[in-house]
Structure 1
């Protein structure tokens, strides 16, 4: 579709990703990459004695899944994109922890699509990351990307 056709979908959910498992191995690798080795993320025995009942993913790990979940999303897509980049976020709220072994998926709602320069578009989405089998989402964020056609 064209950027203009996508813009006509403002206010709509434009895609839902496939499910993605957040494994303990991924949590451990994220801990190593960021230096955040708090026991609630990596020590399965100690974490059993917390209100979480086991290890949980870092909030920033959950946020960092946006690209992989985006790639796994079917739905509205602009044809002919040459490049896309993260521009930032307006809001991010970590609602519920993602326990190791749980699956998550993203729901993407288009909030705004604006042409900033010829061929350069700024897209603002509300993204909700759902946790399979849970009432509350892991996070809700307002995320901005730029893409070039």
Structure 2
């Protein structure tokens, strides 16, 4: 496992990007239905237009929940020995700026640390920034921890 960890450590500090994903009103409405969060700023375009947002916005938790999908398009080092990855949680999550319906978002991912936790288990820590196309402020910043079993 030392060879694998050394190879992964060589990736520390590199920025990798996901593909862009359009966060549309249908996605927002479906998330509202799944979470029972039907606050008007998410689901009522007419009322939301009169707010400082100027229209409907994605739930912060929707943006967070898109991370697994966004990560599927991020180029990752090949880890043939890994049997299973487990979401271990987040050290930090901040919802910096709302994602307006119809806007595109992507994840910028930086590997911060990787370490062996137990025999045949290692943990990676990644800083994630969800960017909004043509918006200087990110939608979300987070520190995500994942465990892998070899």
Residue of structure 2 aligned with 1:4, choices 6, 10, 16 = 6
Q: Is the 8 A contact 1:2 1:79 kept in 2?
A: no
Distance in 2 between residues matched to 1:103 and 1:61, nearest whole Å: 13
Q: TM-score, normalised by structure 1?
A: 0.94
RMSD: 1.3
Task: State how many pairs are aligned.
Answer: 148
Distance in 2 between residues matched to 1:79 and 1:104, nearest whole Å: 30
Q: TM-score, normalised by structure 2?
A: 0.93
Q: Write out per-residue CA displacement over residues 82-108 of structure 1, whole angstroms, 9 at most, x where no aligned residue.
A: 111110111111111000011111011
Distance in 1 between residues matched to 2:104 and 2:51, nearest whole Å: 21
Where do 5+ consecutive residues of structure 2 fail to align?
none
Aligned to 2:75: 74
* Structure 1: 4+ residue segments shifted above 6 A: none
By how many angstroms is 1:9 displaced? Answer: 2.3
Aligned to 1:100: 101
Distance in 1 between residues matched to 2:23 and 2:5, nearest whole Å: 33
Aligned to 2:61: 60
